Structure 1
Amino acid sequence: MRNAEATRERILEAALEEFSSYGVAGARVDRIAKNAGCNKNMIYVYFENKETLFKTVLQKHLARVYEENEFTPEDLPGYAARVFEYAMTHADLFRLMAWYGLEKSVIGDLADRSSVQEKKLQMIADAQDAGQVGQTFAPGFLMTAIMALATAWTATNPFGPSYDRNAVERLDETKEAVATAIRLLAKGEEGSAKPTR
């Protein structure tokens, strides 16, 4: 049983590298098997097809992100700073996410991801109701802003690195700027339009 689990883990590691480099369409099961040191048929035994393998890899790494980066609706700037740090040190995952966005019609939705997103939106709404977060912006807008800003300087983003070329050399300063921007957005301005939930 240990050998089977070890083989499965080697396949998942090799698949992360392959999919983050080539996406689903460009990935080759032969290369994944070679890099995992296993027979190509084992991939189909464990994962049925390439699309299921991609989803399994992505879900595994997203689960790790959720576990390692606690969502704190009462401290959205701190959460944004943690996401920024994670994004800047896990380029392979963010390349994988970019491929997921491009090939979602072939791969399909990730059920776990949707439920986590809904939970976060509800937590922000609850924090707004408790007065911990301003109500200027809707929860969905705030989460989009957090994720967009926190991941803007990853290699897969076409804007951050091109507009602010030196930001990667000043990671602490950039992280603080991201946190400050989210602090201002989360505070909001009273008297502005109410969020639509």
Structure 2
Amino acid sequence: MKKTLLAASLLSTLAFNSVAADYVIDTKGAHASINFKIQHLGYSWLTGRFNDFNGKFSYDAATPTTSKVNVTINTGSFDSNHADRDKHIKGEDFLHASKYPEAKFVSTKVEDLGTGKLKIIGDFTLHGVTNSIVIEASKIGEGQDPWKGYRVGFAGTTRIALADYGITYNLGPASTYVELELQVEGIKQ
């Protein structure tokens, strides 16, 4: 009985004292991506990505609610694989990248939904406007890498209304929302 109480006490102390580890998003190794899709006139999906972004996060599997996320996106790195369209999207009608060169996400709360699923709530700034968004995330895995480092990876999705960020260019009623897909692999620091 004493051994059981001692073990339970030790486990609760370790859980209480667990500390989230800090990770840098592995953009140098291209093990992370920020992809988007938006309907084109309601007839098809236009897809692409942001080629330049960076970020960091803290994470502890024992206490995922203590996690924090901070990501900065270079809006001028928008890439839909079509130079003329990319120039238009980076221009004043949409991203206005010369005036708003960065988009930013800073988490304010993380909810643990169980079985590796998280709800990451935070402030997303785009086009000079900040709104709270929710990212539905799933842990992909974690562990040692072949280079004696430690990594953890997540996938996430969110959907934003362009008008919420002052982007009102009319692409038709089916094209008012952008869906973002995030793939993040972090290297423990």
Question: Structures share a fold, TM > 0.5?
Answer: no
Q: TM-score, normalised by structure 1?
A: 0.25
Q: Which has the higher strand share?
A: 2
Q: TM-score, normalised by structure 2?
A: 0.26
